[in-house]
Structure 1
Amino acid sequence: MKKIGLLSLIFLLIVLVSCSREDYVKSVDGESKIVVEGWIEQGDVPQVILSRSIPINAVIDSTTIFDYFIRSAKVTVSDGENEEVLSLRSDKDRVPPYVYHGSKIIGEVGKTYALKIEYLNKIIKATTTIPNVVTIKSAKYVKENPADAKGFVHLEFNDPILEKNYYQIETRLDKEEPIFVPALYGNLNDENFISPSISLQVTRGIYVLSKTKYEPYFRDGDLIFVKLRTMSKEGFDFWNSWQNEIINGRSPIFPANTSLKSNIKGGIGIWEGYGQSTISIQTPQKK
């Protein structure tokens, strides 16, 4: 295999871990699978990233990697009343660097959204519903030692007693990270809570395109945005399996023995609706 850059390696990790080893071997002489990462948050437009899985015998370099980005699909989202064809935009902050964006349909709690992707002779479908929002009660920057220049975020919220909820925590550093990224161990199932009053430490997530070395903590001078997202069981299972791949350091060249969970019919990946509550934290200025 030819040498490939960091962006290509990251892309390989994302698309390859989406297949089990058995399915991946079968795909060597067969068709690539459509890989979907799609979402619609409460208060925001639908967005979808599309790519194709890469056969193990493919020769990949900085030029051919772009052949696996899908930029000519017809992506449609419907809320049962309105339907919208999403427009393709370039987004250098994501992998792949192309995102299909909506502009008319806005996510609402309780609504169900149908995704339809038409590409070549394939039709890929999925549905999702945006769950109730759970509001962040408070978030603060805490240091183990006052003399330290680094610390973690402590987040508090109340888990509704009469609801079944799954959560994901995301973080973003202003001027360093252009998008929210999942916090490490930030996928939560409320069946594990011993009290409806939740207080926990948030560890910074891994932004794969960062130009600086990864650190699990935050530092003095940071403006931190923290997002608490509610999601479905399918979304929880997908992000848990994704987190396991990252934490276990799976090879970017060969997939894991188990698949990432998926709710996509005709492809692999995730189409998920999220309720969301966001808060900002300004840490003390650097000394």
Structure 2
Amino acid sequence: MRQQNKSTRLWQLILLSFAVFGFGCEKNIDFKLADEESKLVVEATIENGQPPLVFLSTSLNYFSQISPEILAASVVRGADVFVSNGSKTQKLKQYDIPLAGGYTLSYYSIDSANLSAAFLGELNKSYSLKIVSQGKEYAATTTIPNITKQIDSLWYKPGPPQLDTNKVIVTGRFTDPPGFGDYVRYFTKRNGGPFLPGLNSVFDDLFVDGTTYELQVQAGVDRNQKIKEDDMFFNKGDTVTFKLSNIDKTTYNFWRTMEFSYQSIGNPFSTPVKVLGNISNNALGYFGGYASQYRTLVIKK
């Protein structure tokens, strides 16, 4: 027994020596990250019953300072943007919206002066996007699928007891048709505010295929603001509009990887992730089609 105890202590001393030696040999490693060439960033969507909408900007380096001036300068203007549904091709028009502080937001959509060439999104139809900017051409394709996953009903109940008693939980009942491949993204709107995506806004039907199920609907969030726990609940007196959009797999993969990337920011133990866009010529971003349906819920005070 004494011999076994001696062997145990010996191994403990050896391991302790290795630990001390390892800590004593720590060394700082500095990485010099080269500045990357600026890339085109695309956020382009088309939805059933809605015109195409395209926002263009240029990427910033990882260590770039962020200011209203820098963000305003990153907006891409003067590009030639085309969207086709296979039988019609429309050139989109640039629109400029003045913002506070003398800044301007620009986007591209149908030309109101040339409605003969314009079209809106349709279910179960494919679309192509072409962008010509600063001598380079970019392309992407997407599909507005059919509306397959159905919103059966929405209701609410009191929120968690540890939160403000004014908070409520909204729950939905949904039906997923048999057959895998029904991808969705959801948004919510409170009262007269904008539609905002959920913190985790995209879902597949891997575990719910062919079933009717219930799921809490968390309020959409503005990622430009600090997000608190109670931001994801609704308030008594809210009028909630819930938007559920069927999307194709490419759009699902873009937002799945983008939201995973959001969650890993600031976490030294997270796994690096590549955001899966669908714009050609090494551009960033995506062109996505949305097959949307809406439900409204009035929450009593």
TM-score using structure 2 length: 0.75
Aligned to 1:155: 172
Which one of 240, 252, 258 corresponds to residue 256 of structure 2?
Answer: 240
SS at match of 1:98: strand
Which one of 199, 203, 206 corresponds to residue 188 of structure 1?
Answer: 203
Aligned to 2:290: 274
Structure 1: unaligned runs, 5 residues or longer = 1-21
In structure 2, C-alpha distance between the alignment counterparts of 1:92 and 1:165, rounded to whole Å: 39
**How many Å apart are 1:34 and its aligned residue?**
0.7
Change (3 A) 1:223 1:108: same
Given that 1:186 and 1:202 are in contact with CA atoms closer than 8 Å, whether structure 2 keeps it comes out as: no
SS at match of 1:284: coil
**How many Å apart are 1:188 and its aligned residue?**
1.1
**How many Å apart are 1:32 and its aligned residue?**
0.9
**How many Å apart are 1:98 and its aligned residue?**
2.5
In structure 1, C-alpha distance between the alignment counterparts of 2:181 and 2:63, rounded to whole Å: 44
Deviates more, 1:74-83 or 1:160-169: 160-169
**How many Å apart are 1:145 and its aligned residue?**
7.0
Query: For residue 34 of structure 1, what is the amino acid of its counterpart?
Result: L
Query: For residue 130 of structure 2, what is the amino acid of its counterpart?
Result: K
Matches within 5 A, 1:201-212: 201-208=216-223
Aligned to 1:3: none
Query: For residue 124 of structure 1, what is the amino acid of its counterpart?
Result: Y
Q: Aligned-pair RMSD on alpha carbons?
A: 2.9
Which one of 125, 144, 148 corresponds to residue 130 of structure 1?
Answer: 144
Change (3 A) 1:58 1:133: same
Given that 1:109 and 1:130 are in contact with CA atoms closer than 8 Å, whether structure 2 keeps it comes out as: yes
In structure 1, C-alpha distance between the alignment counterparts of 2:227 and 2:265, rounded to whole Å: 19
Query: For residue 182 of structure 2, what is the amino acid of its counterpart?
Result: N
Change (3 A) 1:240 1:81: same
Query: For residue 85 of structure 2, what is the amino acid of its counterpart?
Result: D
Give 1 or 2: higher helix fraction: 2
Structure 2: unaligned runs, 5 residues or longer = 1-30, 112-117
**How many Å apart are 1:190 and its aligned residue?**
0.5
In structure 1, C-alpha distance between the alignment counterparts of 2:199 and 2:145, rounded to whole Å: 22
In structure 1, C-alpha distance between the alignment counterparts of 2:157 and 2:66, rounded to whole Å: 45
How big is each residue's C-alpha offset from its partner over 1:49-78, in whole Å with a ceiling of 9 and x where there is no partner? 111111346565432332211122111100
Aligned to 2:14: none
In structure 1, C-alpha distance between the alignment counterparts of 2:86 and 2:209, rounded to whole Å: 38
Given that 2:86 and 2:126 are in contact with CA atoms closer than 8 Å, whether structure 1 keeps it comes out as: yes
SS at match of 2:232: coil
**How many Å apart are 1:195 and its aligned residue?**
5.0
Using the aligned pairs only, state the percent identity.
Answer: 29
In structure 2, C-alpha distance between the alignment counterparts of 1:186 and 1:57, rounded to whole Å: 28
Given that 1:168 and 1:228 are in contact with CA atoms closer than 8 Å, whether structure 2 keeps it comes out as: yes
Aligned to 1:4: none
Which one of 103, 109, 115 corresponds to residue 101 of structure 1?
Answer: 109
Which one of 57, 65, 71 corresponds to residue 65 of structure 1?
Answer: 71
In structure 2, C-alpha distance between the alignment counterparts of 1:242 and 1:92, rounded to whole Å: 29
Change (3 A) 1:236 1:281: same
**How many Å apart are 1:164 and its aligned residue?**
2.1
Matched residues, number: 253
Matched, 1:120 2:134: yes
In structure 1, C-alpha distance between the alignment counterparts of 2:81 and 2:169, rounded to whole Å: 39
In structure 1, C-alpha distance between the alignment counterparts of 2:64 and 2:223, rounded to whole Å: 23
Given that 2:168 and 2:234 are in contact with CA atoms closer than 8 Å, whether structure 1 keeps it comes out as: yes
How big is each residue's C-alpha offset from its partner over 1:145-193, in whole Å with a ceiling of 9 and x where there is no partner? 7993211221122111146211111111123x32x12112331111121
Matched, 1:141 2:156: yes
Given that 2:178 and 2:210 are in contact with CA atoms closer than 8 Å, whether structure 1 keeps it comes out as: no
Which has the greater radius of gyration?
A: 2
**How many Å apart are 1:92 and its aligned residue?**
7.4
TM-score using structure 1 length: 0.78
SS at match of 2:165: coil
Which one of 118, 124, 130 corresponds to residue 110 of structure 1?
Answer: 124
In structure 2, C-alpha distance between the alignment counterparts of 1:44 and 1:161, rounded to whole Å: 28
**How many Å apart are 1:117 and its aligned residue?**
0.6
In structure 2, C-alpha distance between the alignment counterparts of 1:151 and 1:249, rounded to whole Å: 29
Query: For residue 259 of structure 1, what is the amino acid of its counterpart?
Result: K
